[in-house]
Amino acid sequence: MHMSGEWGSGYRELHAVYDRWQGSYGMDYSRRIFPKLVRTLARHRITPSTAVDLGCGTGTMVLMLEREGWDVAGIDASPGMVAEAERKAAGCSSAARFATEDIRTFTLPRPVSLAISLYDVLNHLPSVDDAFRACTAVRRALRPGGFFVFDLNNDRCYRRLWTREETIGHPDFTMTLANSYDGQEGVATSRVQVRFKDGREDLDETVLQRCFARKEMKSILAQAGFEQLEAEEFAFPGAPWAGRLKTWYVARVPQ
């Protein structure tokens, strides 16, 4: 059995099933959140230019932005996720570039106009200090006046969704997520096990997430040199009944 899981390691095993797993929710997160991102860009009069997707996963959002006229790069800490993104990009003659880099330490050859980081990527960082390092790296990667749009899971999300076991049945595999949340420490744990139906070796990976309060994030963004424009709690697209379990941030580098 393949086993992995530690803070900041990225998804070492889950790339093998990520798109099929997301598809089992009906539609992947990138497609669900895209209209909200498009509305945000329109609200702030952000037109297609250069962008980076931080924690891009298998590259779905990068490819969608490219189709809207953006010149996009994607970075992710997981070599497997990046390889999957490159494979998808090659399959549709995309010019998007991908790199295996950590959001806390990445650099870009040239500053870009927009950085996005969606589906709780920043929650994968263990501490305020790590989030500050990431936001500082993002600020340095943006041109003056550039925007940073990202989402985070909030405390309600962890209390509601990360405290129970979930089993997902897929034609190719069964996935079990054994979730728990330490509200005092603000640390959520998801032990993910994947059993393949064709006899391939099982996967076992632990994903850790840290809850960042809005007050913490506001201070991190200010210290990293951003102006915070929005911090809005919102419901998972496609599951409004679950309540406002996520927070949507828009920040800008001063001109």
Ligand X SMILES: C[S@@+](CC[C@H](N)C(=O)[O-])C[C@H]1O[C@@H](n2cnc3c(N)ncnc32)[C@H](O)[C@@H]1O
Residues found near ligand X in the complex (CB under 6 A): 8, 10-11, 29-30, 55-57, 61, 76-78, 81, 102-104, 118-121, 124
**Beta carbons within 8 Å of 183's beta carbon, 6+ residues apart:** 155, 158, 159
Q: Nearest approach, Cβ of 248 to ligand X (angstroms)?
A: 14
Residue 200: Cβ within 10 Å count: 12
Q: Nearest approach, Cβ of 23 to ligand X (angstroms)?
A: 11
Q: Nearest approach, Cβ of 204 to ligand X (angstroms)?
A: 16
- For ligand X, give the closer residue by CB, 10 or 146: 10
- For ligand X, give the closer residue by CB, 25 or 163: 25
Only one residue has tokens 């969704």, namely: 161
Q: How far apart are the first and last CA of the chain?
A: 51
Q: Shortest Cβ contact with ligand X: which residue?
A: 57
d(CA 61, CA 63): 5
Q: Running DSSP on this structure, what letter comes out for residue 26?
A: S
d(CA 152, CA 214): 10
Q: Nearest approach, Cβ of 42 to ligand X (angstroms)?
A: 21
Q: Nearest approach, Cβ of 199 to ligand X (angstroms)?
A: 27
230 contacts 244 by C-beta, under 8 angstroms: no
- For ligand X, give the closer residue by CB, 18 or 226: 18
- H/E run at residue 75: strand 71-76
- For ligand X, give the closer residue by CB, 11 or 248: 11
- For ligand X, give the closer residue by CB, 86 or 102: 102
